């Protein structure tokens, strides 16, 4: 953003702590006013400054020498603040002297793809890409994800962009903001890139089925997009491949998300797609989160392929193609999954940390030190394959599943999604599992002015020592996050949330009683930490 040199900074711009907008490797904030206790912090000027910060970062990264204008693609999900942020972002990019290519409603993975697609007609490849999304968060939030052809930006890059944005914002002047509007109008182009992206997905399934034009003919597959950006999958991917998609639901974008949260981790959302499969007697159900970087499926009997089961299914598919390969997952995966990957599928399970970027980066690191890995996947439904640029793409995960049923059919097998269910044979599932989230009260005197992270670390250290004195419990010998303990036939993991002042507690056990025994251990260990709100755990052990 160019500031007009002599005029004073715009007087009525709110003070903004830009670094507070960072959420791991994303930017997230409140973009719609009106929710009590959630003041607006992702305003149009803030977004314009962030886009200008990204443009400046990109110019430096690409060592731009002025011989060619760089371009950035901009897409968004179905949120009600999408349009105004798209305009603001476009102004920030254009003001910095780069070209803007708007895609309109798009998926996060498609935005990355636009940095690697070679197609002049669609102004591709672009040098950088911005997706406007806050994934499954409530309607008043929004945020940004950034890409180059090297993948999604990491935490350090995001911090750098926010620091640049803060400087740019502080120099904004009324004249500068007005002139950027004119520049944006001149350098914005619109392209229907989702057509390119979806036709690539269609081609991938056709190829895997042996170049059959309609490899899904005869399959009935219902899609639930939760009114996010994933509705395209029915008409632009499944139907060209020959599938019937009647009974698909919530395909129309609606940023108030009136039906359910678009989130495959959400019980109501999974219930909705399961019901749609059963009501329509469909072969398969597919559900996406708002921006389509996460997904899950449901078989014809209503069995959910999400969380551990989705990982098991994807591991089975990937290990058929790459025998012995290492599967990197997040930390809250079950012990049964490890046994399944290692004993049944002959692979190696590397149970790492929570966070999609963490698992992806770990898989890339393993490959770089000579340990072959082709799949990085989280229980949240984020999954990335080496063959797909290590991009977490919910639609591509579903393509791998479609390939499986299409190629089974091409080789004469009938039975729809049974081929998928069959791949899960032998996966031991816990009879009982629960996630309880214990909040740290940040203003409590027990924090003694320290950060919630320090406090959480102290809680974990104390729990670790407490466990050492109990012979019935064993700490996991290899563990990368929090305190993971086996006992009473099950396990628990207490760890710090990636983003929030929260200690999530996962428990899996052969029965509710055993889970309560494990819960009681944690409860007893944590009782002296008065800033920790253990009411969720108290309720759980007392109700049982
Ligand atoms: O640590 P938590 O609060 O459970 O959140 C962890 C989750 O945060 C976000 O949703 C990320 O997209 C996920 O990749 C991650 O697993």
Tens of pLDDT, residue by residue, the chain (544 residues): 444 444 455 656 788 899 999 999 999 999 999 999 999 999 999 999 999 999 999 999 998 788 889 999 999 999 999 999 999 999 999 999 999 999 999 999 999 999 999 999 999 999 999 999 999 999 999 999 999 999 999 999 999 999 999 999 999 988 777 777 776 677 799 999 999 999 999 999 999 989 999 999 999 999 999 999 999 999 999 999 999 999 999 999 999 999 999 999 999 999 999 999 999 999 999 999 999 999 999 999 999 999 999 999 999 999 999 999 999 999 999 999 999 999 999 999 999 999 999 999 999 999 999 999 999 999 999 999 999 999 999 999 999 999 999 988 888 888 788 999 999 999 999 999 999 999 999 999 999 999 999 999 999 999 999 999 899 999 999 999 999 999 999 999 999 999 899 999 999 999 999 999 999 999 999 999 999 999 999 999 998 7
Residue that is last in its domain, among 156, 191, 226: 191
Among residues 423, 448, 465, the one where a domain terminates is 423
In this structure, the answer to whether residues 477 and 361 fall within a common structural domain is: no
The answer to whether residue 5 sits within a structural domain is no
What confidence score (pLDDT) does residue 6 get?
A: 40
For residue 497, report the distance from its CA to the centre of ligand 1, in Å: 7
Pocket test for ligand 1, best of 435, 499, 502 (most atoms within 8 A of CB): 499
Clarify whether residues 216 and 294 are in a common domain. Answer: yes
Whether 218 and 132 share a structural domain: no
- Of 353, 354, 480, the residue with max ligand 1 atoms within 8 A of its CB, to mutate for a pocket test, comes to 354
What pLDDT is attached to residue 187?
79
| In-domain check, residue 9 | no
Task: Let me know if 445 is exposed, middle or buried by CB neighbors in 10 A (0-12, 13-18, 19+).
Answer: exposed
* Closest ligand 1 atom, residue 26 Cα: 12
Measured from the Cα of 502, ligand 1's closest atom is: 3
3-state secondary structure of 464: helix
Q: Is the peptide bond before 125 cis (omega within 30 degrees of 0)?
A: yes
Same domain for 408 and 356? Answer: yes
Kindly give the interhelix angle for 307-321 and 394-410, rounded to the nearest 10 degrees. Answer: 60
- In whole angstroms, how large is the CA radius of gyration of the chain? 24
The length of the chain, given as a count of residues: 544
Whether 226 and 265 have beta carbons less than 8 Å apart is answered as no
* Assigned domain for 467 exists: yes
Same domain, 152 and 270: no
CA 500 to ligand 1: nearest atom = 3
Q: How many CB atoms lie within 10 A of CB 439?
A: 17
- How far is the centre of ligand 1, averaged over its atoms, from the C-alpha of 435 (Å)? 13
For ligand 1, the distance from its centroid to the CA atom of residue 501, given in whole angstroms, is 13
In a domain, 331, yes or no: yes
- Residues 96 and 48 occupy one common structural domain: yes
> How many Å separate Cα 387 from the centre of its chain?
19
Q: Which residue among 398, 423, 448 closes a domain?
A: 423
How far is the C-alpha of 265 from the C-alpha of 381, rounded, in Å? 7
CA of 498 to the centre of ligand 1 (A): 6
ipTM of predicted complex: 0.97
202 close to 239: Cβ distance less than 8 angstroms: no
CA of 331 to the centre of ligand 1 (A): 11
φ/ψ (deg, to 5) at 237: -120, -55
Residue 38 Cα to ligand 1 midpoint, Å, equals 21
Compute, in angstroms, the gap from residue 56 CA to the centroid of ligand 1: 29
Instruction: Compute the distance between CA of residue 378 and CA of residue 94 in angstroms, rounded to an integer.
Output: 37
pLDDT at position 177:
79
Ligand 1 center–CA 64 separation, angstroms: 35
Q: Which atom of ligand 1 is nearest to the CA of 358?
A: 14
> Is residue 4 included in any domain, yes or no?
no
Which residue, by CA, sits nearest to atom 1 of ligand 1?
Answer: 497
Backbone dihedral region for residue 335 (phi beyond 0: left; psi -120 to 50: alpha; all else: beta): alpha
- Is residue 7 domain-resident? no
Q: Are 217 and 112 within one domain?
A: no
Strand (E) or helix (H) holding 283: none
Whose alpha carbon is nearest atom 9 of ligand 1?
355
Long-range contacts of 400-404 (CB under 8 A, 24+ apart): 400/314, 400/317, 400/318, 401/284, 401/297, 401/305, 401/313, 401/317, 402/205, 402/216, 402/238, 402/241, 403/204, 403/205, 403/208, 403/209, 403/317, 404/317
Number of domains in the chain: 3
* Mutate-to-test residue for ligand 1 from 109, 498, 503, highest number of ligand atoms within 8 A of CB: 498
The protein residue whose alpha carbon is closest to atom 2 in ligand 1 is 497
Residue 353, SS3? coil
User: Measuring from atom 4 of ligand 1, which residue has the nearest CA?
Assistant: 497
Are both 49 and 81 inside the same structural domain? yes
Best substitution site from 380, 391, 456, 536 to test ligand 1's pocket, by max atoms within 8 Å of Cβ? 380
Ligand 1 atom with least separation from CA of 499: 3
Ligand 1 pocket list (CB less than 6 A): 330, 354-356, 378, 380, 382, 497-500, 504
CATH of the domain at 155: 3.40.120.10
506 CA distance to ligand 1 centroid (A)? 14
Beta-carbon-side half-sphere exposure of residue 230 (alpha carbons within 13 Å): 33
Same domain? For 320 and 411 the reply is yes
Distance between Cα 354 and ligand 1 center (Å): 6
Distance 490 CA to ligand 1 centre (A): 23
* Ligand 1 geometric centre to CA of 379 (Å): 10
**How far is the centre of ligand 1, averaged over its atoms, from the C-alpha of 500 (Å)?**
9
* For ligand 1, mutation pick of 356, 357, 359, 496 (most atoms within 8 Å of CB): 356
Query: Are 409 and 523 in a shared domain?
Result: no
Do 264 and 270 meet the contact criterion of CB atoms below 8 Å apart? yes
Residue 11 lies in a domain: no
Clarify whether residues 351 and 217 are in a common domain.
Answer: yes
Taking the C-alpha atoms of residue 237 and residue 245, their distance in angstroms, rounded to an integer, is 10
- How many C-beta neighbours within 10 Å does residue 339 have? 14
Which CATH number covers residue 463?
Answer: 3.30.310.50
Does residue 12 lie within any of the structural domains?
no
Where in the sequence is the domain holding 38, given as residue range(s)?
18-191
179 and 89 inside one domain: yes
């Amino acid at each position: 953003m160019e500031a007009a040199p002599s005029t004073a900074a715009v007087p009525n711009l709110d003070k903004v702590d830009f670094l507070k907008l960072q959420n791991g490797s994303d930017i997230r904030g409140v973009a719609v006013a009106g929710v009590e206790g959630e003041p607006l912090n992702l305003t149009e000027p803030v977004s314009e400054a962030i886009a200008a910060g990204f443009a400046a970062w990109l110019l430096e990264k690409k060592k731009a020498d002025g011989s060619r204008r760089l371009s950035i693609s901009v897409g968004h999900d179905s949120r009600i603040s999408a349009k105004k942020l798209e305009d603001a972002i476009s102004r920030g990019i254009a003001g910095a002297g780069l070209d803007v290519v708007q895609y309109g409603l798009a998926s996060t993975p498609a935005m990355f793809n636009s940095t690697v697609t070679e197609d002049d007609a669609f102004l591709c490849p672009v040098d950088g890409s911005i997706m406007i999304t806050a994934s499954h968060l409530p309607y008043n939030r929004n945020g940004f994800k950034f890409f180059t052809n090297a993948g999604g930006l990491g935490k350090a890059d995001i911090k750098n962009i926010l620091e640049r944005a803060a400087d740019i914002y502080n120099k904004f002047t009324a004249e500068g903001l007005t002139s950027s509007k004119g520049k944006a109008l001149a350098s914005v182009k619109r392209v229907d890139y989702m057509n390119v992206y979806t036709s690539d997905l269609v081609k991938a399934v056709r190829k895997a089925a042996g170049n059959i034009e309609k490899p899904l003919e005869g399959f009935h597959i219902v899609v639930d997009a939760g009114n996010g950006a994933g509705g395209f999958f029915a008409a632009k991917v499944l139907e060209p491949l020959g599938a019937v998609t009647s009974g698909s639901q919530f395909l129309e974008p609606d940023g108030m998300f009136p039906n359910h949260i678009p989130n495959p981790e959400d019980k109501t959302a999974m219930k909705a797609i399961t019901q749609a499969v059963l009501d329509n007697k469909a072969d398969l159900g597919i559900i996406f989160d708002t921006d389509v970087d996460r997904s899950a499926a449901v078989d014809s009997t209503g069995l959910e392929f999400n969380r551990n089961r989705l990982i098991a299914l994807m591991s089975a598919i990937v290990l058929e193609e790459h025998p012995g390969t290492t599967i990197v997952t997040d930390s809250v995966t079950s012990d049964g999954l490890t046994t399944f990957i290692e004993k049944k599928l002959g692979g190696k399970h590397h149970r790492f940390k929570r966070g999609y970027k963490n698992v992806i980066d770990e898989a890339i690191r393993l490959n770089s030190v000579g340990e072959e890995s082709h799949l990085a996947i989280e229980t949240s439904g984020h999954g990335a394959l080496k063959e797909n640029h290590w991009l977490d793409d919910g639609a591509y995960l579903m393509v791998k599943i479609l390939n499986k049923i299409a190629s089974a059919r091409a080789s004469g097998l009938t039975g729809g999604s049974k081929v998928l269910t069959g791949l899960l044979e032998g996966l031991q599932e816990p009879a009982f599992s629960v996630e309880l989230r214990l909040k740290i009260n940040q203003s409590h005197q027990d924090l003694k002015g320290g950060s919630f992270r320090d406090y959480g670390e102290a809680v974990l250290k104390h729990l670790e020592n407490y466990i050492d004195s109990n012979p019935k419990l064993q700490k996991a010998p290899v563990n990368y996050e929090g305190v993971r303990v086996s006992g009473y036939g099950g396990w628990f993991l207490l760890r710090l949330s990636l983003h929030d002042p929260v200690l999530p507690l996962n428990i899996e056990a052969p029965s509710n009683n055993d889970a309560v025994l494990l819960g009681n251990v944690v409860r007893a260990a944590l009782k002296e930490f008065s800033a920790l709100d253990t009411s969720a755990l108290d309720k759980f052990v007392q109700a049982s």
